[in-house]
Amino acid sequence: MNLPKNHFKAALARGERLIGLWSALGSPVVAEILGDGGYDWIALDTEHTPSEPADILAQLQAVAGSGTSVIARPAWNDAVLIKRLLDVGVQTMLVPYVQNEAEARAAVAATRYPPEGVRGVTGMGRAARYGRLPRYLQQAAAEIAVIVQIETKTALDNLEAIASVPGVDAVFIGPADLSASMGHLGNPGHTEVQGAIKDAAARLNALGRPAGILSFDPPQAQQFFTWGFQFIAVGADLTILTRGMADLLTHFRSANGEN
């Protein structure tokens, strides 16, 4: 039995454009549906959802046979939260609210065993196939990807230092929190925010560091690709459900002459 290959990390290194979906519903049934949908990756969120490691475990199991890569976002840049997700088998970690070089280093350290990091040691978890991967402790880091999330103006000011930390595989821009930090709460489409996002992509491209972002507006998401973003979440299970419901209801209300 071999350590699973992190296909997302490998695709990033090859410079491939990767189209993803965001998952907030925390359901293994939904995760299975998303996994079989043909997207390159899905993000399982625990920051703004009720999901805990046991929920992520069930979703990982549901997606396992699909070939779709999984990214998981812990609730915070916390070594304990990151450790628990790694132990259930997450290989790509999206660490939120990284503000500076020191916090980026802490995020990487949380994914590495001593002496390179601070990850707690167990060889009996799902990540090690319950002890069936005897070299897991030595090999794990090679297949773990760390994505740090930039969500504030302060983080943008420190972008090069954050992105240059060894072990940071990619940088992800969070438009909603960034717009709030820049004084445009609820308006990530503001020209100042969009200008900052475009500039961030150019700076990351200059460093040779993959850039990611999310946008649930297809034309905007396509524009982000033209700006140099390499991996983009172009929709979310929650928004697909709510918008689909609304569109369906509007259709039948209109067809029956109702407002």
Instruction: Give me the residue label for tokens 């020209």.
Output: 191
Catalytic residue among 48, 184, 190, 251: 48
CA distance 104 to 35: 29
Instruction: For residue 184, indicate whether it is catalytic.
Output: no
pLDDT (mean) for 175-195: 98
> CA 100: distance to chain centroid?
19
pLDDT digits (tens, 9 = 90+) for 17-31: 999 999 999 999 999
pLDDT over threshold 80, residue 227:
yes
CA distances from 167 to 4, 85, 147, 183 (A): 19, 18, 9, 32
What's at 133, amino acid-wise?
L
Domain boundaries, the chain: 7-255
Q: What are phi and psi of 109, to 5 degrees?
A: -60, -35
pLDDT digits (tens, 9 = 90+) for 139-149: 999 999 999 99
At the top level of CATH, which class does the domain 7-255 belong to?
alpha beta
pLDDT (mean) for 129-142: 97
SS3 51: coil
What percent of the chain lies above the pLDDT cut of 70? 100
Task: Select the more confidently predicted residue: 255 or 81.
Answer: 81
Going by pLDDT thresholds of 50, 70 and 90, the confidence category of residue 103 is very high
Q: What is the pLDDT of the chain when averaged over all its residues? A: 97
CA distance 89 to 94: 14
Backbone dihedral region of 186: left (phi > 0), alpha (psi from -120 to 50 degrees) or beta?
A: left
pLDDT (mean) for 119-132: 97
pLDDT digits (tens, 9 = 90+) for 196-225: 999 999 999 999 999 999 999 999 999 999
Going by pLDDT thresholds of 50, 70 and 90, the confidence category of residue 231 is very high
Q: 232: which residues sit within 8 A by CB, 6+ positions away? A: 18, 19, 20, 212, 213, 214, 215, 221, 224, 225
Q: Which residues pair with 171 in a beta bridge?
A: 148, 211
What percent of the chain lies above the pLDDT cut of 90? 98
pLDDT digits (tens, 9 = 90+) for 28-45: 999 999 999 999 999 999
The sign one gets for the Cα dihedral 46, 49, 52, 58 is negative
Per-residue DSSP letter, 48: S
pLDDT over threshold 80, residue 259:
no
pLDDT digits (tens, 9 = 90+) for 47-102: 999 999 999 999 999 999 999 999 999 999 999 999 999 999 999 999 999 999 99
CA distance 54 to 28: 11
Contact between 110 and 170 under an 8 Å Cβ cutoff? The reply is no
